[in-house]
Protein backbone atom coordinates (compact mmCIF):
# COMPACT_ATOMS: atom_id res chain seq x y z
CA UNK A 1 0.00 0.00 0.00
CA UNK A 2 1.54 3.30 -1.12
CA UNK A 3 0.83 6.47 0.81
CA UNK A 4 1.80 10.10 0.37
CA UNK A 5 2.10 12.86 2.94
CA UNK A 6 1.22 16.44 2.03
CA UNK A 7 2.05 19.49 4.15
CA UNK A 8 -0.11 22.64 4.17
CA UNK A 9 1.23 26.16 3.91
CA UNK A 10 0.18 29.69 4.68
CA UNK A 11 -3.56 30.07 5.06
CA UNK A 12 -4.04 27.08 7.36
CA UNK A 13 -3.20 29.05 10.50
CA UNK A 14 -5.79 29.79 13.18
CA UNK A 15 -5.40 30.76 16.82
CA UNK A 16 -5.65 27.56 18.87
CA UNK A 17 -4.88 25.32 15.91
CA UNK A 18 -2.60 23.08 17.99
CA UNK A 19 -4.89 22.76 21.03
CA UNK A 20 -6.00 19.24 20.10
CA UNK A 21 -2.41 18.00 20.21
CA UNK A 22 -1.50 19.06 23.76
CA UNK A 23 -1.28 15.47 25.03
CA UNK A 24 1.51 14.68 22.55
CA UNK A 25 4.68 15.88 24.29
CA UNK A 26 6.76 15.87 21.10
CA UNK A 27 4.49 18.55 19.61
CA UNK A 28 5.29 20.98 22.41
CA UNK A 29 8.97 20.01 22.38
CA UNK A 30 9.19 20.85 18.68
CA UNK A 31 7.62 24.25 19.30
CA UNK A 32 10.09 24.85 22.14
CA UNK A 33 12.96 23.94 19.83
CA UNK A 34 11.73 26.38 17.18
CA UNK A 35 11.10 29.11 19.76
CA UNK A 36 14.65 28.78 21.07
CA UNK A 37 16.10 29.01 17.54
CA UNK A 38 14.04 32.07 16.56
CA UNK A 39 14.01 33.66 20.03
CA UNK A 40 10.23 33.99 19.88
CA UNK A 41 7.51 32.11 21.77
CA UNK A 42 5.74 30.41 18.89
CA UNK A 43 3.58 28.21 21.15
CA UNK A 44 2.07 31.24 22.89
CA UNK A 45 1.49 32.94 19.53
CA UNK A 46 -0.21 29.83 18.18
CA UNK A 47 -2.30 29.24 21.29
CA UNK A 48 -3.24 32.79 22.25
CA UNK A 49 -2.65 34.99 19.23
CA UNK A 50 -3.53 37.75 18.77
CA UNK A 51 -4.81 36.78 15.32
CA UNK A 52 -3.28 39.85 13.64
CA UNK A 53 0.17 38.83 14.88
CA UNK A 54 -0.30 35.21 13.87
CA UNK A 55 -1.31 36.33 10.37
CA UNK A 56 1.81 38.43 9.84
CA UNK A 57 3.73 36.64 7.11
CA UNK A 58 6.97 36.75 9.09
CA UNK A 59 5.20 34.91 11.94
CA UNK A 60 2.87 32.67 9.93
CA UNK A 61 5.59 30.99 7.91
CA UNK A 62 7.72 29.72 10.84
CA UNK A 63 4.58 28.79 12.81
CA UNK A 64 3.12 26.66 10.02
CA UNK A 65 6.51 25.04 9.34
CA UNK A 66 6.82 24.16 13.03
CA UNK A 67 3.29 22.77 13.21
CA UNK A 68 3.81 20.62 10.11
CA UNK A 69 7.12 19.22 11.33
CA UNK A 70 5.82 18.67 14.87
CA UNK A 71 2.87 16.63 13.63
CA UNK A 72 5.09 14.55 11.36
CA UNK A 73 7.52 13.86 14.21
CA UNK A 74 4.63 12.82 16.45
CA UNK A 75 3.28 10.57 13.69
CA UNK A 76 6.60 8.75 13.40
CA UNK A 77 7.02 8.51 17.18
CA UNK A 78 3.56 6.94 17.43
CA UNK A 79 4.59 4.20 14.99
CA UNK A 80 3.31 5.74 11.78
CA UNK A 81 4.99 4.44 8.64
CA UNK A 82 7.26 6.53 6.45
CA UNK A 83 5.33 7.65 3.33
CA UNK A 84 6.39 6.76 -0.20
CA UNK A 85 6.02 10.31 -1.54
CA UNK A 86 5.81 13.81 -0.07
CA UNK A 87 4.73 17.24 -1.26
CA UNK A 88 3.99 20.56 0.36
CA UNK A 89 1.79 23.44 -0.73
CA UNK A 90 4.05 26.48 -1.11
CA UNK A 91 5.60 26.96 2.35
CA UNK A 92 4.69 23.32 3.11
CA UNK A 93 7.42 22.25 0.69
CA UNK A 94 9.99 23.17 3.36
CA UNK A 95 8.26 20.90 5.89
CA UNK A 96 8.29 18.09 3.31
CA UNK A 97 12.05 18.50 2.87
CA UNK A 98 12.57 18.40 6.64
CA UNK A 99 10.44 15.27 6.93
CA UNK A 100 12.40 13.72 4.04
CA UNK A 101 15.66 14.46 5.91
CA UNK A 102 16.98 16.71 3.15
CA UNK A 103 16.89 19.90 5.19
CA UNK A 104 17.45 20.33 8.93
CA UNK A 105 14.64 21.85 10.96
CA UNK A 106 16.94 24.64 12.18
CA UNK A 107 17.93 25.60 8.64
CA UNK A 108 14.32 25.41 7.46
CA UNK A 109 13.28 27.85 10.18
CA UNK A 110 16.08 30.22 9.16
CA UNK A 111 15.03 29.99 5.53
CA UNK A 112 11.30 30.53 5.99
CA UNK A 113 11.77 33.48 8.34
CA UNK A 114 14.06 35.09 5.78
CA UNK A 115 11.74 34.06 2.93
CA UNK A 116 8.83 35.80 4.64
CA UNK A 117 10.90 38.92 5.32
CA UNK A 118 12.09 39.38 1.74
CA UNK A 119 8.62 38.61 0.36
CA UNK A 120 7.09 41.30 2.57
CA UNK A 121 9.78 43.82 1.65
CA UNK A 122 9.69 43.21 -2.12
CA UNK A 123 6.19 44.53 -2.78
CA UNK A 124 5.14 47.54 -0.65
CA UNK A 125 2.02 47.18 1.47
CA UNK A 126 -1.12 48.00 -0.50
CA UNK A 127 0.38 47.57 -3.98
CA UNK A 128 0.00 43.80 -4.46
CA UNK A 129 -2.58 41.16 -3.71
CA UNK A 130 -4.15 37.81 -4.54
CA UNK A 131 -7.66 36.67 -5.47
CA UNK A 132 -9.41 33.32 -5.68
CA UNK A 133 -11.31 32.47 -8.86
CA UNK A 134 -13.75 29.54 -8.68
CA UNK A 135 -15.71 28.12 -11.60
CA UNK A 136 -13.48 28.98 -14.55
CA UNK A 137 -11.01 26.59 -16.14
CA UNK A 138 -7.26 27.28 -16.07
CA UNK A 139 -7.10 28.66 -19.61
CA UNK A 140 -9.98 31.05 -18.96
CA UNK A 141 -8.28 32.38 -15.81
CA UNK A 142 -5.06 32.90 -17.75
CA UNK A 143 -6.96 34.79 -20.45
CA UNK A 144 -8.58 37.01 -17.79
CA UNK A 145 -5.10 37.92 -16.52
CA UNK A 146 -3.87 38.71 -20.03
CA UNK A 147 -6.92 40.80 -20.84
CA UNK A 148 -6.55 42.86 -17.66
CA UNK A 149 -2.85 43.52 -18.30
CA UNK A 150 -3.74 44.75 -21.79
CA UNK A 151 -6.29 47.14 -20.31
CA UNK A 152 -3.98 48.37 -17.52
CA UNK A 153 -0.49 48.63 -19.07
CA UNK A 154 2.47 48.24 -16.74
CA UNK A 155 0.70 45.94 -14.31
CA UNK A 156 1.50 42.32 -13.55
CA UNK A 157 -1.16 39.64 -13.07
CA UNK A 158 -0.71 35.86 -13.27
CA UNK A 159 -2.18 32.55 -12.07
CA UNK A 160 -0.36 31.78 -8.82
CA UNK A 161 -1.97 28.60 -7.44
CA UNK A 162 -3.57 25.91 -9.55
CA UNK A 163 -5.23 24.43 -6.48
CA UNK A 164 -7.88 22.17 -8.02
CA UNK A 165 -9.95 21.98 -11.22
CA UNK A 166 -11.94 25.21 -11.39
CA UNK A 167 -10.13 26.72 -8.41
CA UNK A 168 -7.24 29.06 -9.25
CA UNK A 169 -5.62 31.86 -7.26
CA UNK A 170 -4.19 34.84 -9.15
CA UNK A 171 -1.55 37.31 -7.95
CA UNK A 172 -0.22 40.68 -9.03
CA UNK A 173 -0.75 44.41 -8.66
CA UNK A 174 -3.83 45.25 -6.62
CA UNK A 175 -5.44 47.42 -9.32
CA UNK A 176 -5.16 44.51 -11.76
CA UNK A 177 -6.54 42.10 -9.15
CA UNK A 178 -9.57 44.33 -8.60
CA UNK A 179 -10.26 44.52 -12.33
CA UNK A 180 -9.77 40.75 -12.75
CA UNK A 181 -12.36 39.96 -10.06
CA UNK A 182 -14.97 41.99 -11.93
CA UNK A 183 -14.01 40.50 -15.30
CA UNK A 184 -14.00 36.91 -13.99
CA UNK A 185 -17.52 37.34 -12.62
CA UNK A 186 -18.69 38.65 -16.00
CA UNK A 187 -17.27 35.53 -17.63
CA UNK A 188 -19.23 33.21 -15.34
CA UNK A 189 -17.02 32.62 -12.32
CA UNK A 190 -19.01 31.21 -9.41
CA UNK A 191 -16.77 33.10 -7.03
CA UNK A 192 -14.14 35.78 -7.51
CA UNK A 193 -12.87 37.36 -4.32
CA UNK A 194 -9.81 39.27 -3.18
CA UNK A 195 -7.96 37.35 -0.46
CA UNK A 196 -6.74 39.03 2.76
CA UNK A 197 -3.10 38.86 1.65
CA UNK A 198 -0.94 41.84 0.79
CA UNK A 199 1.88 39.75 -0.69
CA UNK A 200 1.41 38.56 -4.30
CA UNK A 201 3.09 35.17 -3.91
CA UNK A 202 4.11 32.86 -6.76
CA UNK A 203 4.19 35.49 -9.49
CA UNK A 204 6.86 37.49 -11.30
CA UNK A 205 6.67 40.32 -8.75
CA UNK A 206 8.45 37.97 -6.35
CA UNK A 207 11.51 37.49 -8.57
CA UNK A 208 13.63 40.02 -6.60
CA UNK A 209 12.75 38.14 -3.40
CA UNK A 210 13.73 34.88 -5.05
CA UNK A 211 17.13 36.30 -5.97
CA UNK A 212 17.77 37.23 -2.33
CA UNK A 213 16.55 33.85 -1.09
CA UNK A 214 18.87 32.11 -3.57
CA UNK A 215 21.87 33.78 -1.91
CA UNK A 216 20.93 32.38 1.50
CA UNK A 217 20.12 28.97 0.01
CA UNK A 218 23.73 28.68 -1.18
CA UNK A 219 24.82 28.66 2.49
CA UNK A 220 22.41 25.86 3.47
CA UNK A 221 23.45 22.22 3.53
CA UNK A 222 21.05 19.89 1.75
CA UNK A 223 21.05 16.11 1.60
CA UNK A 224 19.36 13.82 -0.94
CA UNK A 225 15.77 13.35 0.30
CA UNK A 226 15.13 9.93 1.85
CA UNK A 227 11.62 10.11 0.38
CA UNK A 228 10.86 11.67 -3.04
CA UNK A 229 9.50 15.21 -2.63
CA UNK A 230 7.43 16.59 -5.52
CA UNK A 231 8.12 20.29 -5.90
CA UNK A 232 5.58 23.01 -6.67
CA UNK A 233 7.38 24.64 -9.57
CA UNK A 234 7.98 21.62 -11.80
CA UNK A 235 6.10 18.67 -10.21
CA UNK A 236 9.43 16.84 -10.17
CA UNK A 237 11.59 15.33 -7.44
CA UNK A 238 15.23 16.34 -7.06
CA UNK A 239 18.16 14.70 -5.27
CA UNK A 240 21.00 17.12 -6.03
CA UNK A 241 21.47 20.02 -3.59
CA UNK A 242 21.98 22.50 -6.43
CA UNK A 243 18.70 21.48 -8.05
CA UNK A 244 16.78 21.71 -4.76
CA UNK A 245 18.17 25.18 -4.07
CA UNK A 246 17.18 26.32 -7.57
CA UNK A 247 13.66 24.92 -7.36
CA UNK A 248 13.04 26.49 -3.93
CA UNK A 249 14.03 29.89 -5.29
CA UNK A 250 11.92 29.41 -8.44
CA UNK A 251 8.95 28.50 -6.27
CA UNK A 252 8.59 32.13 -5.16
CA UNK A 253 7.79 33.41 -8.66
CA UNK A 254 6.33 30.26 -10.27
CA UNK A 255 2.77 29.02 -9.72
CA UNK A 256 1.98 26.24 -7.27
CA UNK A 257 0.94 23.37 -9.55
CA UNK A 258 -1.05 21.48 -6.92
CA UNK A 259 -3.52 19.82 -9.27
CA UNK A 260 -0.68 18.31 -11.31
CA UNK A 261 1.15 17.31 -8.13
CA UNK A 262 -1.74 15.27 -6.76
CA UNK A 263 -2.35 13.67 -10.15
CA UNK A 264 1.34 12.76 -10.35
CA UNK A 265 1.16 11.18 -6.90
CA UNK A 266 -1.94 9.19 -7.87
CA UNK A 267 -0.21 8.00 -11.07
CA UNK A 268 2.42 6.30 -8.90
CA UNK A 269 -0.17 3.96 -7.41
CA UNK A 270 -0.78 5.97 -4.24
CA UNK A 271 -4.24 5.40 -2.80
CA UNK A 272 -3.98 7.23 0.56
CA UNK A 273 -2.93 10.86 0.95
CA UNK A 274 -2.35 12.06 4.51
CA UNK A 275 -2.47 15.77 5.31
CA UNK A 276 0.19 16.47 7.93
CA UNK A 277 -0.45 19.87 9.45
CA UNK A 278 -3.18 22.00 10.98
CA UNK A 279 -6.59 21.93 9.32
CA UNK A 280 -7.99 20.09 6.30
CA UNK A 281 -7.47 22.56 3.46
CA UNK A 282 -5.41 20.23 1.27
CA UNK A 283 -7.72 17.26 1.86
CA UNK A 284 -10.59 19.29 0.45
CA UNK A 285 -8.58 20.26 -2.63
CA UNK A 286 -7.35 16.72 -3.17
CA UNK A 287 -10.89 15.32 -3.24
CA UNK A 288 -11.71 17.69 -6.07
CA UNK A 289 -8.60 16.68 -7.99
CA UNK A 290 -8.92 12.88 -7.80
CA UNK A 291 -11.97 11.25 -6.24
CA UNK A 292 -10.26 7.84 -6.20
CA UNK A 293 -7.85 8.94 -3.48
CA UNK A 294 -8.62 8.42 0.19
CA UNK A 295 -7.70 11.63 2.01
CA UNK A 296 -6.90 11.63 5.71
CA UNK A 297 -6.11 14.65 7.90
CA UNK A 298 -4.12 14.22 11.11
CA UNK A 299 -6.20 16.59 13.19
CA UNK A 300 -5.70 15.12 16.68
CA UNK A 301 -4.13 12.12 18.52
CA UNK A 302 -7.21 10.00 17.87
CA UNK A 303 -6.81 10.45 14.12
CA UNK A 304 -3.14 9.47 14.52
CA UNK A 305 -3.99 6.12 16.04
CA UNK A 306 -6.88 5.36 13.70
CA UNK A 307 -4.75 6.19 10.65
CA UNK A 308 -1.79 4.14 11.88
CA UNK A 309 -4.05 1.10 12.27
CA UNK A 310 -5.79 1.69 8.94
CA UNK A 311 -2.52 1.91 7.02
CA UNK A 312 -0.82 -1.13 8.53
Q: Determine the Cα–Cα distance for residues 258 and 16; give it in Å rounded to an integer.
A: 27
Cα–Cα separations (whole angstroms), residue 86 to 34, 147, 222, 274: 22, 36, 17, 10
How many whole angstroms separate alpha carbon 224 and alpha carbon 67?
23
Q: DSSP assignment of 107-153, as one string?
A: HHHHHHHHHHHHHHHHS-TTTEEEEEEESS-HHHHHHHHHHHHHHST
Kind plus residue range of the DSSP H or E element containing 226: none
Please say whether the beta carbons of 15 and 52 come within 8 A: no
- Out of 89, 173, 202, 272, which one is annotated catalytic? 202
Phi-psi category of residue 79: left, alpha or beta, with phi > 0 → left and psi -120 to 50 → alpha: left
Q: Give 3-state DSSP helix, strand, coil % of the chain, rounded to 5.
A: 50, 15, 35
Catalytic (active site) residue 89: no
**Active-site residue 90, yes or no?**
yes
Q: Which residues pair with 156 in a beta bridge?
A: none
Query: Which member of 12, 35, 89, 90 is catalytic?
Result: 90
Cite the active site residues.
90, 202
Amino acid sequence: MKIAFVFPGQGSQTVGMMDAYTELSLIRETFTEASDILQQDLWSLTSNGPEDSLNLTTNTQPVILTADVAIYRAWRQAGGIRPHFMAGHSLGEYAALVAAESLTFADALKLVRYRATVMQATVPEGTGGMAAIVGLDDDMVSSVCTEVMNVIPGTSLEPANFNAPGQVVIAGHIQAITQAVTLAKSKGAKLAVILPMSIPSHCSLMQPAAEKLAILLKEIQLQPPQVPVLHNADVGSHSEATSIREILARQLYNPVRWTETIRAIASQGVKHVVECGPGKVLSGLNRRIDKSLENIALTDPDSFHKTIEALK
